[in-house]
Chains A and B, each alone.
Chain A
Amino acid sequence: MSAKKLNLKDKYRLLTRDLDWDFSYEDRKDAFPFEEFEGIKITDWDKWEDPFRLTMDSYWKYQAEKEKKLYAIYDAFSQNNGHLNVSDARYVNAIKIFLTAVSPGELAAHSGFAFTGRQMGGIGARIASQMQSIDELRHIQTQIHAMSHYNKFFDGFDEFSHMHDRVWYISVVKSFFDDARSAGPFEFMVSVGFSFEYVLTNLLFVPFMSGAAYNGDMATVTFGFSAQSDEARHMTLGLEIIKFLLEQHEDNVPIVQKWIDKWLWRGYRILTVVAMMMDYMLPQKVMSWKEAWELYFEQAGGALFKDLERYGIKMPDYTDLIKAEKDHLSHQAWWTFYTNSQATAFHTWIPSDEELDWLSEKYPETFDKYYRPRWELAKEMADKGERYYNEGLPQLCQTCQIPMIYTDVQNDPRDIVYRSTKYQGERFHFCSDQCQHIFEDEPEKYVHAWLPVHQIFQGNCGGPGGLEKVMDYYKLDVGNANMDYVGSPDEERWKNWKGVA
């Protein structure tokens, strides 16, 4: 008897689908206690479609192949002092932000997917989560290894782990993943799997990785490309969880809509830093933030939401606001970091004249009117030896934890948006209606946020005392890792290496 030929779908189903069983000796709810508290209704886990039917042995095989290729590049990179090939040492500050803010987020995502990988009731969703969990571990580890070489030659990388738990701008990313991980398993999958990994991923990865490619950073671009095929699997998990939940029960629709609205907003706010990175931190520009948003969200996102209309899902109602913000976002962000750079673990600088002209060209409606004058003033002051640094600390939004720098772009872009809510006798502040709404929906959750600036004022960051205590608490290498690129040890070393006076 010759064996029946099995196709991929059937083979995967036979190997995987039937492994779980209906419990007889314990209540299944004791083994899977978190399936119901979010109000999500699952009627039939068998309807889960496995998009990538990757068996474990295939996973090991293809991933090992990718690792071999990747580490061969890492070895070559360090053996040949690859860091000398970047366009300019200013560029390296972009990846300092990546290692301190994004990489630990990968580990947080790994942990969240380990949680859903255990707690989801359906085996298809569990296995996909588990593979994502191990992929995210891959990502933080390969990122650390990519940056390891840079750490040896540049400041601002060496305390990435310590800083992720403490530093003010990094808490923006940490709070995003803490928010996702503290949510229930279904919200977690929608937040990271769908909103982040599906809708917004191209706006995080492509800018950083293309930025690396355009600026001679072989280690990072190779990491990026190697990780991207993992990301394709993550995207499909994100899309599948959405489709599955929406098809399972009509009661799920409003819950999922709420999560989509919340998480696209929180994810979008994080992209503020990416916007500034693209427009201000890359000596060789890839495209403007505005262009990236138009390509990767307005076009690609449009197709997705059109498909989801059939379930009753709508595009969030703030997309017009985001459209209006795209002409302002990067400029407001870089200005904030420039003026607070005594407290950043990366350098900032005034854009060159060519760069100012590029910004004028890319942002014809807003740059010359609202932002170029600031840089002219900054340059004037710097030339006088009075390079400007803020002496106060910025007010942070309670939800997204970003300084309150966002302006009323649809009416008067010079007016800062302030929202506030009183809750149990305390006043909380927000950068936008959307952040306020997120808080008001779950105030008991968001009141616990560890806001860096509040904590500094409360003396919990090495204090009481002045900013020096805070810098110690951050392990921020004052005089080396912070302040302007001009005059920094990074700049001096770069000039020596390149034989430039």
Chain B
Amino acid sequence: MTDPLADLDSEIRDHLEREAQEHVDRGMTPEAARAAALRKFGNVMHVKESARAVWIPAAIDQVVQDLRYAVRMVRRSPGFSAVVILTLAIAIGMNTAVFSVVNAVLLRPLSFPYPERLVWLTASEAGEGFELVGAQDVIGWREATSLDRLVAYDEYDSRVLADGLVLPARLASVSDDFWDLAGATAALGRRPLPGQPEVMLSYPFFERALGANPAIIGAPVQVGNRRGTVVGVLPPAFHVDLVPPASFASLAPHEIDAYYGIVVRPPQNGMVQLFRVVGRLKPGVSIEAARAELLTIRTHTAARNPAIPFKPTQRVLPLRDKLVGPARPTLLILLAAVAAVLLVGCANIASLLLARATARQKELAIRTAVGAGRARMLRQLLIESLVLAVAGGAAGVLVAKACLEVMRRLIPQAVPRLLEASLDGRVLAFALAVSVVTALGFGIAPVFSVWKINAFDVLKDGTRTVSATAASVRVRSWLVTGEVALTLVLLCGAGLLVKSLARITAYPAGFVPQQTLTVTVAYNTNGMQNTEVRRREYAAEVLQRLQGRSGVHAVGMTTNAGGRLRLFVEGVTVPMEERPTVFHSSVSEGYAQAIGMRVASGRWLTDREPEAAFVVNQALARRVFPSEDPVGKRIQVDGPPGATAAAGAKFGTVVGVVADLKYAKLDTAAEPEIFADYRHANPFDMTFVARVDGDPRVTALDLRALVAGIDRSQPVSDVKTVETVLIDSIAPRRFTVFLLGTFAGAALLLALVGIYGVIAYSVSLRTREIGVRMALGAARGDVMRIVLRQGMVIAIVGLVVGTAAALAATRVLTGLLYDVTPGDPATFATVAALVAATALAACCGPALKAARVDPLDALRCE
């Protein structure tokens, strides 16, 4: 059946015409006939409503009517609606974008089967940078009854030789359990068999590098230094969340291109393989139970391997905590900050609605007079708010989409899993919920002014009642005061972070990261033995060739803190595990000058040291030689044999101390470092450093070609400025500063609009009063002062409240600050001045308008 109500109107019209026609036939005039017909019919509106009520319960029908009315109101004042919807779109959009990141990072489960049962394991304590697990512990832990899968893995950049091509690729070496733990299936071919040197390719790599040619399956390949066979290709959507190596944690998220199976072998001749380890708990096993069992196993393992140093420390954490734990506080702070922006936006809208409710008093009074109940009026006002909020929310989703895109483009490496962020169902539900809550929030304000409406007074006066408007100005002033306070809190937070960033990037004299280029060669021995000499010769050749280039005025080589080794000091006997760990680099003579390192005492290394010689940094000097001069001390380091020839048995002399320099990670304290001359070492990954003139991007291409040309079989990285490396190392910090700064800026803008709105409104209400004052002799300056004072009282109360709140709130930032205290007076003062200036600027317009009031006009107009 079609809608029986569809043609009710025409049906009634038809009825009336027939009735009138009958009267006309009996001799009435058409006008009289129509009137008689209408009289007999009764109230047409009422009839229609009763007919509709048969089908639609009256309450729903009224809501529909209210909705229609609300939409009409929104359309009737497009300026007002645009301001409200725009404010909401920005505020809700930013909230939705941040929530989508929170959702992806903190709420969505990891991309593994049984994500809640996955644990990350290490044998080191918190705070130790070292997180790898020795093969002996991996083998021991495999027997644990609390785990049903245990994966040892590692990942690194190298290359794949396949099909006659040399392809740069990111590789993951994974033990047998990986495939089950990751829930991997093969899109092409099959999964690798246990213990076989078999290789699985990612789909994007298969497509990008190999043209998606299925002939690769079964073909021999070389991945890194290993030979194997490609047995399968993973599905396009395959992705696993593994803990990346520390040195990559802050870099662009690397998708793995190729996975190859490895076997974990027991330690041999003092060589211990090291792995990252992830396990899966058996169903129902608690993490505490697993911890206890794993530690017992380690103790037994240690007893069987007396040669390997043992400390009874370990960490077993949910994998998700390890992956995203560090990002959690930052994200929650950002969420709180962006919610504050929404609150400021709501206060503005509430303030606007209040002003409008006052202006609409007459309309509302008429509605009351013709019988609309209070409840009905409130419902209608709330529905109007809801219509605005939902429109704002819908626009906000578009804004969120754009914001998310900006975040991902700008700083993709800032937050783990950021690239997974998207506007899924949960995020959209969040946006809707925020819109509704917002509508209730700002819709409440005008409700109060409606509650007190006395239809008789309003209609009798014919103008706005003075007491109600005064109350409205008062409420609006409080709202704006709150806005100013919240804005101040946000600005203080952003200010502190900006200052931290400035402190971090204040480079010491002599260090010019933007003019310093680095290029890394992961020297490939192609399976040959005893390659120290070749490595050194290669390094020497590259250095010599770089030296002569025009525009290059200092060149050096470093292995870039490739290992953390234990330090031995001659004549000091302490157990192995209590010896301090230090970063170790093998370097060339030119390195200190090229990177911009300052020698604090003693001298730097040369390329012609008669025996192994060392330079230490001040951080090491402070820690190991707190009350002595390190220069002249005899030291050696352990570590993988060959890392330093001196490390084997011989001690070398400390010849100098250099000032601490953060050349790789900016926002951590300087680590103890030791530099050895490369002529007595066996440099693995060699990073060449060149201080250049002019545009580094131009020189960069030139340098890469030169280095690559020396030995075509060596994989050469891209040439980067040290600044790029440093900037990447503080990506999470820049992300936070960028977002918090944006939020604070948005809040400041909203506060500006808010102050302007309330002051301008107040001036318009007081035109008559101002006219009287001027007529009685007040100068224009006096009038301006009155208006400015009103605005500044709001601002100053807001500043005082905000400063108190900020002092409490910025404490949560402590972990994110660098060399700045949470209550930094300079930051607070700057922010307060900024807010005060903004408030003053907001009041200037209305003040000038007040000063231009013509007393005659003002008095005549009412």
Partners in one complex: no
Chain B positions near chain A (C-beta within 8 angstroms): none
